[in-house]
Amino acid sequence: MTAVPAPLFAVAPAPSGDVLRVLVVDDNASVLRFLAAAFGANACLVSQASTAEQALELLRGERFDLVVSDIKMPGLSGLDLLRAVKGRQPGTPVVLITGAPSVSSAVFGLRYGAYDYLPKPFSVKEIQELLHRLRCDQREGRSQAFPAGLTEELDRRQFGVEVLFRIGELALGGIDPSTFIETVLGYTMQSLRADGALIILREEDGTFKATRRGQPVLLGELSSALQGAFESLLATGGREARPLAAGPGLAAIAALVPGLGNSMGVLCLARDAKVGAFLPDEQELLLGYARTTAVALQKILLRESLEQNLVDTIAAFVNAIESKDVYLKGHSARVSLYSGEIGTVMGMSEADVLVLGRAGMLHDLGKLVMLDSILRKPGKLTPEEYGLIQMHPGVGDRILQPLKFLVPESRAVRHHHERYDGRGYPDGLRGEEIPPLARVVTVADAFDAMTSDRPYRGAMPLAAAREELLRVSGTQVDPTVVAAFAAIPISRLDEVSARYHERRGTVDNPAPLGETVVCAQAEAVVTA
């Protein structure tokens, strides 16, 4: 009788409902196949990525119960991926694979909430033990708390957005171009934790001028990396920042500084690779800095008014961030339009209507520093998560405060989640205590939240959402503002609502406004 060989992977049955969604990441194809087979044989639905960048794309659209990643990979490392995952989904366990454990990687992993390490070579038994422990933790409700590095991560994001406005504020102060560039480099290095920075700009006579900050050796390597990538950088047309292939031990990144009709120059940064590669959100910030620098510098040179151009540039940055999420795309732009419509019906001055438009565009600025896992969570928020969400109006206010010409907008941003009955946040203002412009943005924000698709529900019909606002008029929202909103023709509301919407759904029995908003990201007026 011929013996049947034992299977390479013994299938371990999991309890009902215990199937885990696992993302495995490794640049070694054979290791990746082994991981996929080993986890798949132990009641896991496995997704694979050969780079951290691919893993981040998968994480953008899916939630996983476990991420397992090699540390050393080309491009973003496993430690970079850990920081990115914890910045998006703090409760997702991340296991790091390492061939040579080090004190620095262990400390980093602990600070950013690594669940465990798998030292190479590892066996199927070790994977089974890992899964058993994870399932036990889940069944017993031992979820991972927010990692120690989360506060630092949120502070970093907030300062990063603040720098956009600081760059604009510099230009408003009548500063000379050379001092402006030096200060921009300082802000950019501080925000993105760079050890060296280089900005090359085209002069009026067609020559180029370079401004540098950092160690000469590092800047030399940065210049060489830029030369090798300049053609590919030009091909982006200024639409994205690009990592550069710098020397060993360095991470580098660059973005075009757009000009009138062609590129004005390029902004480059480098830092010690021990800090980590530049993550996607840092690339977005560098792109924003380059664009804001271009607008500010052009206005300094031409001695023209900068205010509206600066707001337009920041609005474009907000739109670009929102456009990456199908559920949020165009939200701020629509709130801006609704707010202007309401102000016009109420007979506000042209200046106030302009402020309303700006405030509507900037009202969720503070959410740019929030965690994606909270903003996109399909279920009810935990008290800790809800506490973080309640911070976003204050964060937006603090970001805007340096720009004195945006004081009215900053007050509307801070108070657009106050309730007319005093049960809102962040300050619990009531009735007439709430700034008038904030009361308008509140109604516009609530209406767009209800009439837009979200991960946890479909969009309400426009008429139903308007009726819901009338129902809570005088308790949650200002009755005068709601009355003005109700006077806007439904055809005009439909025209605004259709802008930027890639998908529209409806629900036959929409939840009341309170349930709709509290269930998710508290994105309209109601708090509970």
Residues 374 and 479 in one domain: yes
For residues 219 and 249, membership in a common domain is answered with yes
Answer whether residue 55 is part of any domain. Answer: yes
pLDDT in tens, 25-43: 999 999 999 999 999 999 8
- 265 and 123 in a common domain: no
Q: Cα–Cα distance between 124 and 128 in angstroms, integer?
A: 6
Start-to-end CA distance of the chain, whole Å, equals 71
**Both 102 and 195 in a single domain?**
no
Can you give the residue range of the structural domain that contains 135?
20-148
Instruction: Report the phi/psi class of residue 422: left, alpha or beta, with left for phi > 0 and alpha for psi in -120 to 50.
Output: left
pLDDT value of residue 512: 34
Q: Shortest CA distance to 188 belongs to which of 211, 158, 160? A: 160
Q: Give pLDDT, residue 6.
A: 38
Does residue 523 lie in a domain region? no
Q: What is the dihedral of CA 366, 372, 373, 374, to 10 degrees?
A: 20
**Digit-coded pLDDT (tens) for 111-150:** 667 788 888 888 899 899 989 988 888 887 666 556 666 6
**What size, in residues, is the chain?**
528
Asked if the structure places residue 512 within a domain, the reply is yes
Q: Is residue 337 part of a domain?
A: yes
Query: Using CA atoms, how far apart are residues 57 and 52, in angstroms rounded to an integer?
Result: 9
| Residue 144 sits in the same domain as residue 160 | no
Position 524 in a domain: no
Sheet containing 44-49: which strands, arranged edge to edge?
A: 44-49, 20-25, 66-70, 94-98, 116-119
Percent of the chain topping pLDDT 70: 82
pLDDT at site 476: 94
CB 413 within 8 A of CB 362: yes
Task: Quick: pLDDT tens for 183-227.
Answer: 999 999 999 999 999 999 887 667 788 999 998 889 999 999 998
Q: Given 117, 148, 179, which residue is the final one in a domain? A: 148
Inside any domain, residue 437: yes
The CATH number of whichever domain residue 375 belongs to comes to 1.10.3210.10
CATH classification at residue 286 = 3.30.450.40
Give the strand pairing for 242-244 and 250-258: antiparallel
**Residue written as token pair 């801070």:** 414
**9-18, 145-154, 241-250, 519-528: range with highest mean pLDDT:** 241-250
pLDDT higher than 90, residue 437: yes
Positive or negative, the CA dihedral 77, 79, 83, 85 is: positive
424/496 same-domain check: yes
Read off the amino acid at residue 388.
Answer: L
**In this structure, are 334 and 472 located in the same domain?**
yes
Asked if residue 2 has pLDDT above 60, the reply is no
Last residue within a domain, chosen from 112, 130, 148: 148
Q: Percentage of residues in the chain with pLDDT exceeding 90?
A: 37
> What is the predicted pLDDT for the residue at 114?
79
Phi-psi region of 384 (alpha: psi -120 to 50; beta: other; left: phi over 0): alpha
The pLDDT confidence band at residue 504, using thresholds 50, 70 and 90, is very low
Total structural domains within the chain: 3
Say yes or no: 212 and 225 in one domain: yes
Q: Over 80: is that where the pLDDT of 372 sits?
A: no
Considering the domain architecture, whether residues 139 and 165 belong to the same structural domain is answered as no
Q: What is the CATH number of the domain that holds 95?
A: 3.40.50.2300
Instruction: Check if the beta carbon of residue 276 is closer than 8 Å to that of residue 300.
Output: no
Q: Report whether pLDDT(520) > 80.
A: no
- In this prediction, residue 503 carries a pLDDT of 39
pTM of the predicted protein model: 0.65
Confidence of residue 432 (pLDDT cuts 50, 70, 90): very high
- Residue ending a domain, among 121, 148, 175, is 148
Tell whether 140 and 173 lie within a shared domain.
Answer: no
pLDDT of residue 523: 37
Q: Is residue 502 part of a domain?
A: yes
Whether residues 62 and 198 fall in one domain: no
Mean per-residue pLDDT of the chain? 81
Q: Is residue 217 part of a domain?
A: yes
Instruction: Identify whether residues 198 and 122 lie together within a single domain.
Output: no
Hey, which residues does 473 pair with through a beta bridge? 477
- 8 A C-beta contact, residue 51 and residue 73: yes
